[in-house]
Amino acid sequence: VFAFKKGTAPHINTFELGQHGRYRTNVWEYKGVNTMRAGRMEELALHPTVKPVQMIADAIKDVSGRGDIALDLFGGSGSTLIAAHKTGRRGYLCELDPIYCDRIIARWEAFAHDEAVKIEKAAIEAEFVSREAVQ
Return the HEC string of 11-51.
CCCCCHHHCCCCCCCCCCCCCCCCCCCCCHHHHHHHCCCCC
Tens digit of pLDDT for each residue in 92-134?
999 999 999 999 999 999 999 999 988 877 777 787 777 777 7
Q: How many CB atoms lie within 10 A of CB 24?
A: 15
- State the pTM of this model: 0.74
Backbone phi, psi, residue 90, to 5°: -95, 115
Distances from the Cα of 79 to the Cαs of 9, 26, 36, 82, in angstroms?
A: 28, 21, 19, 5
Question: Quick one: pLDDT at residue 41?
Answer: 66
Q: Is 1 exposed, middle or buried (0-12, 13-18, 19+ CB in 10 A)?
A: exposed
Q: Does domain 16-134 have CATH number 3.40.50.2300?
A: no
Q: Can you give the residue ranges of every domain in the chain? A: 16-134
d(CA 23, CA 17): 5
pLDDT confidence of 87, banded at 50, 70, 90?
A: very high
